Amino acid sequence: MPSQYLQVGTTAVLGDFAKGDTLDFTLSGLSLSQDSEHFKAYTLKGFEDWVIVGVEDDSTKWSDWDYNDTVFAIKLGDTADIPEPSTIIGLLGVGAAGLFIRRKSLTK
């Protein structure tokens, strides 16, 4: 077996990646693009910043369908809070009211 292959049970930590980086990998002997039965992707309650992808290498009737033949755990990183549209509209309304009051006080 070539040395670039991981042995069964091996864990590889690939480090951190910047937003927009691409990670390419190869699974010998199967193509995920041809048969979606080979993989499942999950997010777990309490671990929303992770995506877990499990790969099943055998889709025959003898498969164990455990999706643990290859597993990728991808930490998505910190998320930024994005204000809801109603919050933005409310802030604009408060700003407009403030400008109206200021303009009214300047004209007196």
Check whether 97 has a pLDDT greater than 80: yes
Tell me what pLDDT residue 63 has.
77
Check whether 80 has a pLDDT greater than 60: yes
Amino acid identity, position 11: T
**Residue 73, strand partner residues:** 52
Segment among 24-33, 48-57, 94-103 with least mean pLDDT: 24-33
Tell me what pLDDT residue 31 has.
57
Check whether 76 has a pLDDT greater than 70: yes
30: buried, middle or exposed (CB in 10 Å: 19+, 13-18, 0-12)? middle
Check whether 79 has a pLDDT greater than 50: yes
Within 8 A by CB and 6+ apart from 37, the residues are 56, 59
Check whether 15 has a pLDDT greater than 80: yes
What distance in Å separates the CA atoms of residue 32 and residue 77, rounded to the nearest whole number? 25
Listed by start position, the domains of the chain span 1-80
Check whether 34 has a pLDDT greater than 60: no
Residue with tokens 């864990």: 11
Mean pLDDT, range 83-100, rounded to an integer:
79
Q: Indicate the pLDDT class of residue 1, thresholds 50, 70 and 90.
A: very low
* Residue 18 or residue 42, greater confidence: 18
Let me know: does 38 contact 28? Beta carbons within 8 Å: no
